[in-house]
Amino acid sequence: MLEQAIIISLIAYAVNVLFQEGMIFGKVGYWIENKLPMWIYKPLIGCTVCMSPYYGIAYIGFMWSFMFNFSDTAIILLISIGTSRLLVNLTNNL
């Protein structure tokens, strides 16, 4: 369970970094940030913590073919949100 949560957090963090200014998809990220409403932008590419539950549901659905237990999924998603927050805090202090 913990490894799935960490994988989800790292995927969300990597996607967030790829769309930041100066990165490979920076221009696309700039366009998305300016054209889409904030409530779509943040869970899509703008906020690692906001992205974790949505990316987590997609990851779990893809990896387990939507044959999963609700309580396990909820625990994994909560752990991935916390892990994403820790990752953001650690990288902001560098």
pLDDT tens across 9-40, in order?
Answer: 999 999 999 999 999 999 999 999 999 999 99
Instruction: Please report where in the chains the tokens 């994994």 appear, as a residue.
Output: 76
Whether residue 76 contacts residue 60, with contact meaning beta carbons closer than 8 Å, is answered with yes
CA angle 90-23-14, nearest 5°?
45
Average pLDDT value for residue range 58-82: 87
Instruction: Please report where in the chains the tokens 């221009």 appear, as a residue.
Output: 27
Indicate whether 63 pLDDT > 90.
no
The domain ranges of the chain are 2-92
CA gap 55, 45 in Å, rounded: 10
